[in-house]
């Protein structure tokens, strides 16, 4: 009686172990993988460009401020004099203070001769690494009291020997200029990179649209549609995958066809001797015999009938499975009319068990195979009659609700435990404590038939709180006919 619960397995792609330091640990999509392979080299290039950008900005800052640093050195060198064999700077203090004025950096000045005599400046500035030719100047970096400075040094010729004039300043202006230039240049590069990444993301998505169409094309197929997938409008990179899918479909179709032929042949081979055995058992029962022999013949007839029923159930289940039969056999059907026909078959059995079999039928249209839908209804009614005790009741309903056509069978029998409902559609499974003589295929057949035509089956407890309510839902793809449409019913 029961149902196999389905499970969805979600697989996540993982990159090769050799590239684990580069690739993300989990790749959610092909687009993400392609984008990642384009993003990280681009990001590496942007970061690498920061190095030459920094030195370019530093060179520009030094070029801009070095000339301004050389001017006071030249002004001081033109006023260097020798008084009593001592060097001095012939400038008033106000002029010297003006040379030291800077709103952002601190200025240091030093004038000294080759003997180390100092004419100006109390701070000893770092000397240049290489001797400066007389009349030439150099710029170099140094450190004063733990602080970075930039120094302009000028070697002034004099009769008593060359005089070294040094003017130094801290690097606040230069560092600010370098930082601003670096930020400006890198900002533009990052903006270009971000725009490129967005365009790459969109472009990759556009390039992967054929895969999305292929996915939608395959997803839209019914389980019975095993035709090869067309490769005419597919990208060359996808065609090998489609070829492999088509080969798999061909092998699957061959396997299903072989299975169907085997089941049909086996059922035919079993039906014939069983029919003959049943006939002979019936003939033997009509002949004069002892009570013991008649009891044995009754057992043979009953077992033969149950075996025939099992074979018919297996055949119906095989026809309902995906890939069996022809989906083109689906036609518009009124569940009300199908239920009427089923009623004629099951009313005698209900009367024999003293069960009240009632019908509440409204028009409910579906697109399906008439024979399989009739088998679905027959198995639902048979299941309820089998597990409903004498003096019980079974009600068959068909109705149209919203966009769905529904057929349901309700009984007041022993019911199906809630923890068993997830399994009662499994083949050959029977709920605990059941006393019927079923083979455990009835609800499996119901589930397969409903699934084949896009429906689903659910089990509920009736509003009365006793028994079982089994409902099959189908999408109603047809407009409801006018009220005067002959739907039959009782």
CA 282 – CA 304 distance, rounded (Å): 11
Burial of 248 from C-beta contacts in 10 A (0-12 / 13-18 / 19+):
exposed
What per-residue confidence (pLDDT) applies to 256? 75
Closest CA to 385 of 331, 461, 437: 437
Three-state SS sequence of 259-298: HHHHHHHHHHHHHHHHHHHHHHHHHHHHCCCCHHHHHHHH
pTM: 0.44
CB 116 within 8 A of CB 138: no
Closest CA to 100 of 147, 174, 170, 172: 170
CB 91 within 8 A of CB 74: no
Q: How many helices (H) and strands (E) does the chain have?
A: 9, 14
Beta bridge pairs of residue 88: 81
Whose tokens are 């998505």? That residue is: 205
What per-residue confidence (pLDDT) applies to 259? 72
List own/partner pairs for 50-53 with CB under 8 A and 24 or more apart. 50/182, 50/186, 53/181, 53/182, 53/185, 53/186
Closest CA to 374 of 341, 398, 402, 331: 341
CB 125 within 8 A of CB 166: yes
- Please identify every stretch of the chain with a pLDDT value under 70, giving residue numbers as ranges: 1-28, 84-85, 90-102, 116, 121-123, 159, 224, 263-273, 285, 289, 306, 308-310, 312-329, 431-440, 477-490
Sorted by sequence, the CB contacts under 8 Å of residue 98 that are 6+ apart come out as none
What per-residue confidence (pLDDT) applies to 267? 67
Closest CA to 61 of 186, 176, 183: 176
Half-sphere exposure of residue 76: CA atoms within 13 angstroms, side-chain side: 31
Half-sphere exposure of residue 271: CA atoms within 13 angstroms, side-chain side: 12
CA 388 – CA 415 distance, rounded (Å): 9
Q: What is the pLDDT of residues 134-155, one digit of tens each?
A: 888 899 999 888 888 898 898 8
Q: What is the pLDDT of residues 253-273, one digit of tens each?
A: 887 777 777 766 666 666 666
For residue 454, CA distances in Å to 5, 137, 202, 380, 445 come to 17, 91, 35, 18, 14
Q: What are phi and psi of 367, to 5 degrees?
A: -110, 110
Task: For each of the domains in the chain, give its residue range(s) and CATH number, in order of start.
Answer: 30-207 (3.30.450), 239-320 (1.10.287.130), 330-475 (3.30.565.10)
Three-state SS sequence of 6-49: CCCCCCCECCCHHHCCCCCCCECCHHHHHHHHHHHHHHHHHHHH
Closest CA to 413 of 342, 462, 457, 344: 462
The H-or-E segment that residue 107 falls in is strand 107-113
Closest CA to 409 of 353, 330, 338: 338
CB 449 within 8 A of CB 323: no
């Amino acid at each position: 009686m029961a149902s196999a619960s389905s499970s969805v397995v979600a697989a996540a792609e993982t990159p090769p172990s050799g590239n684990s330091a580069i690739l993300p640990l989990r790749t959610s999509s092909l687009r993400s993988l392609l984008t990642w392979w384009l993003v990280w080299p681009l990001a590496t290039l942007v970061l690498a460009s920061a190095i030459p950008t920094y030195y370019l900005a530093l060179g520009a800052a030094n070029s801009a401020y070095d000339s301004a640093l050389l001017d006071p050195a030249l002004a001081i060198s033109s006023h260097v004099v020798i008084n009593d064999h001592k060097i001095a700077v012939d400038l008033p203090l106000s002029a010297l203070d003006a040379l030291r004025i800077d709103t952002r950096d601190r200025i240091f000045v030093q004038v000294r001769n080759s003997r180390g005599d100092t004419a100006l400046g109390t701070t000893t500035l770092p000397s240049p690494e290489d001797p400066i030719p007389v009349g030439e100047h150099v710029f170099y970096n140094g450190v004063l009291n733990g602080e970075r400075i930039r120094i302009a040094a000028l070697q002034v010729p004099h009769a008593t020997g060359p005089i070294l004039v040094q003017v130094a300043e801290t690097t606040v202006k230069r560092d600010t200029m370098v930082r601003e230039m670096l930020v400006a240049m890198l900002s533009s590069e990052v903006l270009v990179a971000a725009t490129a990444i967005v365009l790459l993301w969109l472009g990759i998505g556009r390039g992967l649209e054929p895969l999305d169409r292929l996915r939608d094309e395959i997803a839209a197929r019914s389980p019975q549609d095993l035709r090869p997938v067309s490769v005419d409008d597919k990208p060359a990179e996808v065609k090998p995958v489609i070829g492999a899918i088509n080969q798999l479909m061909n092998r699957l179709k061959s396997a299903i066809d072989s299975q169907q032929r085997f089941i049909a042949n086996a059922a035919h081979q079993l039906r014939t001797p069983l029919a003959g055995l049943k006939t002979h058992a019936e003939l033997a029962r009509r002949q004069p015999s002892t009570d013991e022999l008649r009891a044995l013949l009754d057992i043979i007839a009953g077992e033969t009938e149950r075996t025939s029923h099992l074979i018919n159930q297996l055949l119906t289940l095989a026809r309902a499975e995906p890939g069996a039969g022809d989906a083109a056999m689906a036609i518009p059907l009124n569940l009300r009319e199908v239920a009427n026909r089923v009623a004629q078959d099951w009313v005698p059995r209900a009367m024999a068990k003293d069960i009240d079999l009632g019908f509440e039928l409204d028009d409910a249209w579906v697109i399906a195979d008439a024979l399989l839908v009739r088998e679905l209804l027959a198995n639902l009614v048979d299941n309820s009659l089998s597990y409903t005790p004498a003096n019980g009741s079974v009600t068959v309903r068909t109705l149209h609700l919203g966009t769905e056509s529904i057929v349901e069978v309700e009984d007041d029998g022993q019911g199906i435990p809630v923890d068993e409902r997830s399994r009662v559609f499994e083949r050959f499974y029977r709920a605990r404590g059941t006393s019927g003589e079923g083979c455990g295929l009835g609800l499996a057949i119901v589930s397969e038939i409903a699934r084949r035509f896009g429906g689903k089956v659910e089990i509920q407890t009736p509003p009365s709180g006793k028994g079982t309510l089994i409902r099959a839902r189908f999408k109603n793809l047809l407009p409801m006919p006018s009220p005067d449409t002959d739907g039959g019913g009782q």
